[in-house]
Structure 1
Amino acid sequence: MLEMRGITKSFPGVTALSDVHLTVRAGEVHALCGENGAGKSTLMKVLSGVHPQGSYEGDVLFEGEPVSFRDIRDAERRGIVIIHQELALVPHLSIAENIHLGNERARRGVVDWNATLHGAQRLLARVGLREHPHTPVADLGVGRQQLVEIAKALSKEVRLLILDEPTAALNDEDSAHLLALILELRDQGVACVVISHKLNEIRRIADTVTVLRDGRTVETLPVRTAPDAEPEVSEDRIIRGMVGRDLDHRFPDRTPYPGEDADRVALAVRGWTVRHPVDRRRKVVDDVSLTVRRGEIVGIAGLMGAGRTELAMSVFGRSYGRHVAGTVEVDGREAATGTVPAAIAAGLAYVTEDRKRYGLHLDDTVHRNISLASLPSLRRHGVVDQHQERKVAETYRSAMNIKTPTVLEQVGRLSGGNQQKVVLSKWIHADPRVLILDEPTRGIDVGAKYEIYTVVDRLAAQGKAVLLISSELPELLGMCDRIYTMAEGRLTGEVTRDEATQETLMRHMTMTVSRS
């Protein structure tokens, strides 16, 4: 169905793609793997018309014919539709309006609302979404918004569907439903190209996988010989192609660093209760107490909605919730953390799970993002010393292996893994006593994950206290000295590194919480 030959694409200061080749057969799920910055999304933007003909070198053949797309609409007319990681829906419009946006059902220049409604109903049934077409998209969770995006693609008579990290922000249930839908579309003759860092999902749904590294095609591997056959390629084999080496260990060897401060508690949260910002009767976090010692990595495990992020954000300057109760102690003294500046002054740092919304100024430069949380340390006569600011950024660029042509590069142009390294650099430079990490490796490839794990381990070795929130149980088991579990806003267990297993954690995470 598709051949991409010798695709080369450059941006100022960097070659994103160099002589890349890709072949996709009709009616297959083709996975595209590689580290952040390998060129996966850029290649799909070339295919879908985001990067138009003339902005790249090479040839694209679709169904045996050479094609050149001036924009996304050109690609969609041929049945090539891309669904980006950041969904392109208008939240205050209805499902039906979003499905047909840009592809309106009209008569003589006037929208035919009857045809719009019935068309949306038919497409929603096809993707298994039981919502009324008049429902505003803002009322849907991310998982169901993904289904609306796929329904929108189907309305354009899609032949080749491109999905960029489709399950990155979904819980297990929504992910399973979406993966099943992709397989249904394959069986209906729709070819799918899936970009994903979740190798277990790739082995579950992909027929073929192509690996990119440093903007080049490394190899194409058959995942299975028949649609219902067991996968023949292992995760380790895919990883070897992605990073150019074997990762015998997914995590650095974890050695606790107790030292002379082994019993000194760096962070203590006592009786922490947070009410929902709108529904004041609802306790999102209910009487939580926990401790983190110096040099210790402590994890928090929980299912979606357990209250983990709400706990972290409320502790860090009361960034979430209303009527917060309880105390926070740093190094044995009660700390005022009622605002974000106060929390930073008290020695706390928070790496958010949503780096693009809360962690970065995407339209500003790398060096300014790194300095944001510690501008007073860069002040000279009341003005930020820009020379020193750039010098600091260059230091972190080297130490964190941030792949950018210059620290003056706009941070929004970096890959997800490099953006995450910028966020970590910002907080490390602030020199916190306690570092709260909320899903620090979400949407990041295995190579970049290992680099971030190494940084976290190094911070603990320096005596920092680390509180690590993650939905990936292997990540918690591989990194943490102790793990707390949460369910329905309350702590349900605490296990040591030696006691912790996925089964034990899941049992605590699914406990029914009794409330007085």
Structure 2
Amino acid sequence: MNAPRTPLLEMRGIDKAFGGVPALRQSRLCVGRGEVHALIGQNGAGKSTLIKILTGAYARDAGTIVFDGKGVDFKVPIAAQRAGLSTIYQELNLVPQRSVAENIFLGREPTRFGLIDWRHVEVESARILAGFGMSVDVSRPLRSCNTATQQMTAIARAVSMRAKLVIMDEPTSSLDETEVSTLFGVIRKLKADGVSVVFVSHRLDELYAVCDRITVMRDGQTVAEREMAGFPKLDLVAAMLGKELSVLQGTRRAGPDASMPEVLGVQHLRSGTRVKDASVTVRRGEIVGLGGLLGSGRTELARAVFGADAVDAGQIRIKGKLVKLDEPADAIARGVAFLSEDRKTEGIIADLSIRENLCLVLSPRLARLGIVDNRKQHEITEEFIRKLGIRCAGPDQPIRELSGGNQQKVLLARWLAAGIDLLLLDEPTRGIDVGAKAEILELIRGLADSQGLSVLIIASELEELVAASDRVAVLRDGHTVAELTGDDINESAVMAAMANGTANAAAPAQAGIQEVAHG
């Protein structure tokens, strides 16, 4: 552990459970005065829960919080704000119809002779923004301003409240490089003025550019507290993922012959703010893994290939033909299927039966004059229950009663019954037990071998990615930075590509660090 010399904030032994399931276990966070402190971790690591406990949105089950030398237990967020804590969320909680100045002083408008002193509001707002090097017409409605100005308005609000600690949750996610550079200048000014900043980001280059120390969380626990200087990126990624640097190579299947035809070809794809320049190919009967840290653009790339997100630039080929996918129906018509990471929200329909869920895509084909052939539905469902080993009471059992692994099998069966050629899998084993994970992965391998199914699989668990894949493409900040084949597919090489943008684990840990992150 590496604690600051003069702490402003100390959170120790923090526990929190939801419905008996631990979200935080003896977690801690210590932030020094006038320090820029990085807080990172994969999805579900506990970062948001820890912040919500600090700011009074959640009550902790155990632990202590000392802020500015006093023990605190904020019951509501407004109490935290009054004490000098200000949080700027990724989705800005401002009022777009009101002016920039009104947003900065919202709820704290100064008065003169019983009336709001609007001149003081505008003059003071302009002064604060000018201190950030920004010349803004503070009388403009916030909605007419760009994202960077809105972000600076939120920061100006925090400064006007005389915040001692500002928490920034993914503040650069919607900013371009110039805007990020401006934001970093503001953060450095806050630090120079003695204001502490907790900086939550998934972009590693940004952490090294602007942060003094770092706290890494994993599975609800604090697993590392270090100075940023001297903390190699590869070590940081290993701490986030829970891996040793000398990891063993996984066992993989042989994969298809290199002469097999291409089913998917993505070239220099750009989509939204996350996918900047991504390229990947998948041949018939091939399983290609898509690696990368949270926020690298993995899911967004799959969504673009499925027609769920717009493509801004680049090309997508399906079975050798250049295609334009305006919606998922276009992809489905070309034999492409997508299993979302969020099985419960975007996959199953909980109140329907196994049969109804499994035959959902097929229903139009099984209907005559608007009436679905229930007998045919039962036959198909029984066939896939048997083929995929779905453990259930029968086709009409509600899907919500099945385990996570069996629900995932039903979703796989849904697409297999539709006769798809390319399967996009986003975290297919998340939320299911170890035995079911192995079963799902073996099932996917078997489908690739026996039916020539092509698979693009996204997995955060490196063992799964290495063991399941014939090739692995690694994304970093929206760019494809490495493609691994054969014996080069191992956990060390994947982690090195995530950290350094190259599969060479011996590459300098700090190589390529710039003041502004890539993309």
The question of whether the paired residues in 1 share the 8 Å contact of 2:287 and 2:468 is answered with no
Out of 356, 360, 363, which is 1:376 matched to?
Answer: 360
> Which of the residues 230, 233, 255 maps onto 1:232?
230
* Offset from partner CA, 1:441-487 (integer Å, 9 cap, x none): xxxxxxx74x3x776777864x9xx99986444x4324699xxxxxx
Contact 1:35–1:213, Cα closer than 8 Å, also in 2: yes
Are the aligned partners of 2:280 and 2:473 in contact in 1 as well (CA < 8 Å)? no
Larger Rg: 2
Q: Is 1:148 equivalent to 2:153 in the alignment? A: yes
| TM superposition shift of 1:126 | 2.4
Unaligned runs of 5+ residues in structure 2 are: 1-7, 272-278, 291-298, 364-372, 379-394, 410-426, 434-443, 487-502, 504-510, 512-517
**Does 2:23 match 1:16?**
yes
Name the CA shift for 1:210/1:268 in 2 (closer, same or farther; >3 Å).
Answer: closer
Q: How does 1:109-258 map to 2 (within 5 A)?
A: 110-223=115-228, 231-247=229-245
Change (3 A) 1:139 1:467: farther
Look up the SS of the partner of 2:58 in the other structure.
coil
Counterpart residue type for residue 222 of structure 2? T
SS at match of 1:259: coil
2:70 to 48, 62, 65: 65
1:376 shift after superposition: 1.8
Question: In structure 2, do the counterparts of structure 1 residues 470 and 27 end up closer, same or farther at CA, with 3 Å as the change threshold?
Answer: closer
1:222, distance to aligned residue in structure 2 (A): 2.8
Residue 340 (structure 1) aligns with = 328
Shift of 1:159: 0.5
Counterpart AA for 2:52: K
- CA deviation after TM superposition for structure 1 residue 237, in Å: 3.0
Structure-1 residue corresponding to 2:275: none
Whole-angstrom CA distance in 2 between matches of 1:128 and 1:291: 45
Question: What is the rounded CA distance, in whole Å, between the counterparts of 1:39 and 1:26 in structure 2?
Answer: 23
Residues 156 and 377 of structure 1: is their aligned pair in 2 closer, same or farther, counting only changes over 3 Å?
A: same
Alignment of 1:224-373 (within 5 A): 231-247=229-245, 259-260=256-257, 262=259, 264-267=261-264, 293-294=283-284, 295=286, 320=310, 330-331=318-319, 339-349=327-337, 364=345, 367-368=348-349
Shift of 1:152: 1.7
Secondary structure of 1:131's aligned partner: coil
Where structure 1 has 5 or more consecutive residues not aligned to the other structure, the ranges are 224-230, 275-288, 300-308, 406-424, 441-447, 482-496, 498-502, 504-509, 511-516
Counterpart secondary structure, 2:360: helix
Paired residues for 1:417-432 under 5 Å: none
Q: Could you tell me the TM-score, scaled by structure 1's length? A: 0.62
Structure 2 distance, partners of 1:262, 1:330, is: 17
C-alpha displacement of 1:402: 2.0
Report how far residue 81 of structure 1 moved.
0.7
Matches within 5 A, 1:328-477: 330-331=318-319, 339-349=327-337, 364=345, 367-368=348-349, 376=360, 381=374, 387-388=398-399, 391=402, 393-395=404-406, 400-403=428-431, 449=460, 451=461, 461=470, 471-473=477-479, 475-477=480-482
Q: Is the 8 A contact 2:55 2:77 kept in 1?
A: yes
Moved more, 310-319 or 7-16: 310-319
Number of residue-to-residue matches in the alignment: 416
Question: Could you tell me how far 1:315 is from its partner in structure 2?
Answer: 7.4
- Separation in structure 2 between the aligned mates of residue 310 and residue 132 of structure 1, nearest angstrom: 35
Q: Within 2, Cα distance between the matches of 1:143 and 1:434? A: 41
C-alpha displacement of 1:185: 0.9
Q: Are 1:29 and 1:207, in contact at CA under 8 Å, matched by a contact in 2? A: yes
Contact between 2:289 and 2:469, CA under 8 Å: does it hold in 1?
A: no
Kept in 2, the 8 Å contact 1:298–1:480? The answer is: no
Whole-Å separation in 1 of the counterparts to 2:84 and 2:280: 53
Residues of 1 paired with 2:38 and 2:308: CA distance? 41
What is the distance in 2 between the residues matched to 1:319 and 1:374? 25
- Superposition deviation, residue 298 in structure 1: 11
Partner of 2:32: 25
How far 1:111 moved relative to its partner? 3.7
Distance in 1 (CA, whole Å) between partners of 2:300 and 2:12 is 48
**Alpha-carbon distance, 1:77 to partner:** 0.6
Give the aligned residue type for 1:25. G
Residues 395-434 of structure 1: CA distance to partner in whole angstroms, max 9, x if unpaired? 47798442489xxxxxxxxxxxxxxxxxxx9xx9xx9977
- Aligned residue identity for 1:262: S
Which AA in structure 1 matches 2:430?
I
- Partners of 1:315 and 1:158 lie apart in 2 by 44
Q: Deviations 1:482-513 (Å, cap 9, x if unpaired)?
A: xxxxxxxxxxxxxxx9xxxxx9xxxxxx9xxx
- Name the counterpart of 2:440: none
1:90 counterpart SS class: coil
Distance 1:290 1:42 in 2: 35
Partner of 2:515: none
Q: Whole-Å Cα distance in 2 between the matches of residues 60 and 476 of structure 1?
A: 41
Q: CA deviation at 1:98?
A: 2.3
Q: Deviations over 1:74-116 (max 9, x none)?
A: 1111111111222223333332232222333444665432222
Quote the residue 1:7 is aligned against: 14
Residue in structure 2 matching 1:77, options 57, 78, 82: 82
Rounded to whole Å, the distance in 1 between the matches of 2:107 and 2:454 is 48
Give 2:91's match in structure 1, choosing from 86, 89, 97: 86
Instruction: Report the AA paired with residue 13 of structure 2.
Output: G
Report the Cα distance in structure 1 between the residues aligned to 2:174 and 2:189, rounded to whole angstroms: 21
Structure-2 change in CA distance of 1:102 and 1:258 (3 Å):
same
Identity of aligned residues (%): 31
Can you list the C-alpha shifts for 1:286-336, whole angstroms capped at 9, x where unaligned?
xxx99865448699xxxxxxxxx99998875596599x9x99864357879
| SS of structure 1 residue aligned to 2:53 | helix
> 3-state SS of the aligned residue for 2:37?
strand
The TM-score normalised by the length of structure 2 is 0.62
**1:335–1:121 distance in 2 versus 1, CA, 3 Å:** closer
8 A Cα contact 2:252 2:469, kept in partner: no
CA contact (8 A) 2:282 2:455 kept: no
SS of the counterpart of 1:209? strand
Cα separation, 1, equivalents of 2:359 and 2:120: 56
The RMSD of aligned alpha carbons is: 5.5
C-alpha distance in 2 between matches for 1:350 and 1:173: 35
CA contact (8 A) 2:166 2:196 kept: yes
Q: Secondary structure at the match of 2:151?
A: helix
